[in-house]
Chain A
Amino acid sequence: MKVNFFVTCLCDTVKANVAKRTVALLEQLGCEVIFPEAQSCCGQPSINSGYVESSKPAMKSFIRAFECNDYPIVTPAGSCAAMVKAYPEYLRNEPEWASRAQAVADRLFELTQFVVRELGVVQLGAKLVGTAVYHPSCSLIRKLGVRDEPLSLLAEVEGLTLLPIDNQETCCGFGGTFSVKMGEISGEMVKEKVRHMSEVTPDYLIGADISCLMNIGGRLHREGKAIKVMHIAEVLASR
């Protein structure tokens, strides 16, 4: 099966290892990975700050980039997937673009969603010994409705025990530009998340959204906590 890879700007620039692991994972599952070079950022920083009108050319450019074929599109980030899935609504007043946006959105899957729902696979032969806290990101659970998929994948990882924490489904405080525009509030939110996490002293923090991991990881690093931050793609590639 051929799949397109939507890397997301964060993975492209600073977290390439997550992207590489995702590609490896898809290849392990028998997919041939295509990287449409014309892809860019989903536009979240601008769209979620209200600059919808001026973001439209970029939305269209994104749509065009993925119209290069009809294969599914896979991305290792819930929030970027959710953003693209909102394009049809934003382009509502331009019916032709709205339907092109819908066609792209329909082909787009968040990584765990693709692996579990589309490919029907949960056992990937991964092994990672230790305890972990899994952070269910807001985008995954509330925007995309992806709640069980990551958990069923993690349940099959040999040696890994997941630990529950208080207020597990509460936002980590990232929120895109919120993290800098409302840095004080965002900072308090991530501090509380780290506090709950520290109470169970896990070896790893695992998530499927790189932005939340950067946020929580940044706070863990600041507090000098020895909790290793891993994207689920990296966990599933561990042997």
Chain B
Amino acid sequence: MSMKTSHATFKERIDIQMQDDYMRQSVANAQERMFTNRAKAAEALGNWEQWREMGKEIRQHVLENLDYYLEQLSDKVVENGGNVFFASTAEEARGYIEGVLKEKKAKKIVKSKSMVTEEIDLNKAIIGLGCEVIETDLGEYILQVDDCDPPSHIVVPALHKNRTQIRDIFKEKVGYQGTNDPEEMTRFVRQHIRHDFLEADIGITGCNFAVAETGTVSLVTNEGNARLATSLPKTHIAVMGMERLVPTFEELDIVVSLLCRSAVGLPLTGYVTALTGPRESDQCDGPEEFHLVIVDNGRSAILGSEFKDILRCIRCAACVNTCPAYRHIGGQSYGSIYSGPVGAVLSPLLGGYEDFKELPYACSLCQSCNDVCPVKIPLSDLLLKHRRVMAESKLTPLGERAAAGFFNFVNARPALWGKTVKAGAKVANATIKDGKMPFNVGPLKDWTDSRDLPQPDGESFRSWFKNRQQTKGDQQKNEAGDHHD
């Protein structure tokens, strides 16, 4: 899977998704559960706002000194006996990993959940080499066996499926015979993929945060699959987005707390793993070889742009879990592996406006994402910036540009504006009857598809106020006149 997950248009995608009642119910339930849990977990820390401020400062500091920390990280990894590859593009990253696979004559690869490997379309490249690749995170596994269905959430990729659908997929694709009980299904998958772990030549993981000072890769998971993927195969390849690092373990502690509380509403997830280099001679487990692939793929350009705040992101999905637009359209509508507010900001930056131009408009600017983001990314402001870039580089529809131009022309001329308002009030009063207008086209139709028009209140306020002041003035004059008499 690459960044882009669909060839349908945005409107086609949302039409399909919005008819999927199962998906909508799953998303609504999950949003409410995750939102409540997150709020409780944040509350439990006592001074959440200070934690957010700390999270923001740590991430900001890293971004401002990224070259320094990347160098430190890379030196440390090498010192620990690992290999580092810095990939400018997705292609370079794939190329390097393919090289390792070939060298190791790898046949089977186990993976733990990693968004960046999806971003660089790694699985396709691996399969292209004739290797078998198995996703071992339960959610990713479900999607993989379901003919590589795209993820609908950055933390819970199969969020759009309910347990019965999952049972049916397992039944059809992997011979599952049991019920739709989540525990039973999980047990089945565990057994089913155990031999894959044992047979795999290479384990590929992402990296939640790398620790620059020690050359450590940390992984935050709930299933323990990443531990197997990084300890059983002889080679471990970790792939990380260029910005995903912290200076020391002290900062790691803080960002992991923010991540777990924001993502799943818990003080910690089941497993937080810190891996520092390959196995040493006196150690009995761990991989013999370790590779860290650091992926730029457009991130340097973001770093130098007005969108750099998005690079603070720790991929917790709190913004996704609170987004009312996401709630109704689901993750697959975004057509990107990154959905929700973070996806709407990130996808056009990494994948271009051509494919993702609608995403910044799929937002009512309610700002609830800004309020929950643990590293204080002003997501709705960044979405507005996208709109601005598109409007000002003429990527918006001609009709819209003309309408905006006309509106701004009138709005900047007080006398003309005043006349327009008065005329507008007259037209509204003459034409809106019982919430409807006699014509119903364009934006009017878009509005009236789901709601009626307001009942107008008669003449414009400004006309009324002027009359009132005049009457008042006349009265005062008269009173004054009376007095003289």
Digit string of A45-61 for contact with B (CB within 8 Å is 1, else 0)? Answer: 11011111111011011
Q: Does B450 contact A (CB under 8 A)?
A: yes
Asked whether A185 lies within 8 Å of B329 as measured between CB atoms, the reply is: yes
- By a CB distance below 8 angstroms, the chain B residues around A11 are 461
Chain B residue nearest to A22 in the complex (CB): B461
- By a CB distance below 8 angstroms, the chain A residues around B368 are 138, 142, 169-171
Report the Cα distance A72→B210, complex, angstroms: 52
Chain B residue nearest to A175 in the complex (CB): B364
Q: Does B389 contact A (CB under 8 A)?
A: yes
Chain A residue nearest to B411 in the complex (CB): A58
Report the Cα distance A170→B450, complex, angstroms: 18
Asked whether B365 lies within 8 Å of A179 as measured between CB atoms, the reply is: no
Interface residues in B424-455 by Cβ distance below 8 A to A read 424-425, 428, 435, 443, 446-447, 449-454
Asked whether A190 lies within 8 Å of B387 as measured between CB atoms, the reply is: no
Chain B residue nearest to A90 in the complex (CB): B388
Q: Out of B363, B424, B451, B466, which one reaches A178, CB within 8 Å?
A: B363
Asked whether B447 lies within 8 Å of A13 as measured between CB atoms, the reply is: no
Q: Does A16 contact B (CB under 8 A)?
A: yes
Report the Cα distance A17→B411, complex, angstroms: 23
Digit string of A153-177 for contact with B (CB within 8 Å is 1, else 0)? Answer: 0000000000000010111011110
Asked whether B365 lies within 8 Å of A48 as measured between CB atoms, the reply is: yes
Rounded to whole Å, the gap between the CB of B463 and the closest CB of chain A is 8
- By a CB distance below 8 angstroms, the chain B residues around A19 are 461
Digit string of B8-42 for contact with A (CB within 8 Å is 1, else 0)? Answer: 00010011001000000000000010000000000
Q: Which of B106-114, B122-130, B414-422 forms part of the interface with chain A?
A: B414-422
Asked whether B456 lies within 8 Å of A14 as measured between CB atoms, the reply is: yes
Asked whether A182 lies within 8 Å of B361 as measured between CB atoms, the reply is: yes
Report the Cα distance A45→B457, complex, angstroms: 22
Q: Does B178 contact A (CB under 8 A)?
A: no
Q: Does A143 contact B (CB under 8 A)?
A: yes
Q: Does A107 contact B (CB under 8 A)?
A: no
Q: Does A180 contact B (CB under 8 A)?
A: yes
- By a CB distance below 8 angstroms, the chain B residues around A15 are 454, 456-457
Given contacts A49-B400, A52-B388, A214-B454, contact A184 B411 (CB under 8 A): no
Q: Does B169 contact A (CB under 8 A)?
A: no
Q: Which of B67-75, B267-275, B402-410 forms part of the interface with chain A?
A: B402-410
- By a CB distance below 8 angstroms, the chain A residues around B390 are 50
Q: Which of A97-105, A110-118, A126-134, A217-225 forms part of the interface with chain B?
A: A217-225
Interface residues in B234-264 by Cβ distance below 8 A to A read none
Chain A residue nearest to B434 in the complex (CB): A221
Report the Cα distance A11→B463, complex, angstroms: 12
Asked whether A46 lies within 8 Å of B407 as measured between CB atoms, the reply is: yes
Asked whether B446 lies within 8 Å of A183 as measured between CB atoms, the reply is: yes
Report the Cα distance A222→B465, complex, angstroms: 32
Q: Does A9 contact B (CB under 8 A)?
A: yes
Given contacts A19-B461, A171-B324, A214-B454, contact A46 B447 (CB under 8 A): no
Q: Out of A13, A17, A57, A175, which one reaches B365, CB within 8 Å?
A: A175
Q: Does A20 contact B (CB under 8 A)?
A: yes
Asked whether B14 lies within 8 Å of A50 as measured between CB atoms, the reply is: no
Rounded to whole Å, the gap between the CB of B34 and the closest CB of chain A is 14
Q: Does A4 contact B (CB under 8 A)?
A: no
Interface residues in A1-52 by Cβ distance below 8 A to B read 7, 9, 11-20, 23, 35, 37-41, 43, 45-46, 48-52
Asked whether A12 lies within 8 Å of B384 as measured between CB atoms, the reply is: no
Asked whether B435 lies within 8 Å of A221 as measured between CB atoms, the reply is: yes
Q: Does B459 contact A (CB under 8 A)?
A: yes
Chain A residue nearest to B416 in the complex (CB): A40
Report the Cα distance A175→B362, complex, angstroms: 10
- By a CB distance below 8 angstroms, the chain A residues around B462 are 7, 12, 35, 37
Report the Cα distance A45→B368, complex, angstroms: 20
Report the Cα distance A35→B371, complex, angstroms: 35
Given contacts A61-B411, A178-B364, contact A187 B459 (CB under 8 A): no
Q: Out of A50, A58, A188, A219, which one reaches B18, CB within 8 Å?
A: A188
Asked whether A58 lies within 8 Å of B425 as measured between CB atoms, the reply is: no
- By a CB distance below 8 angstroms, the chain B residues around A37 are 414, 418, 462, 466
Report the Cα distance A52→B261, complex, angstroms: 37
Given contacts A46-B404, A50-B396, contact A142 B367 (CB under 8 A): yes
> What are 8 sample pairs from A and B whose C-beta atoms fall under 8 A apart?
A7-B462, A12-B421, A17-B458, A50-B384, A61-B413, A138-B364, A175-B365, A218-B453
A contact set with B: CB distance below 8 Å? 7, 9, 11-20, 23, 35, 37-41, 43, 45-46, 48-55, 57-58, 60-61, 65, 138, 142-143, 167, 169-171, 173-176, 178-192, 214-215, 217-219, 221-222
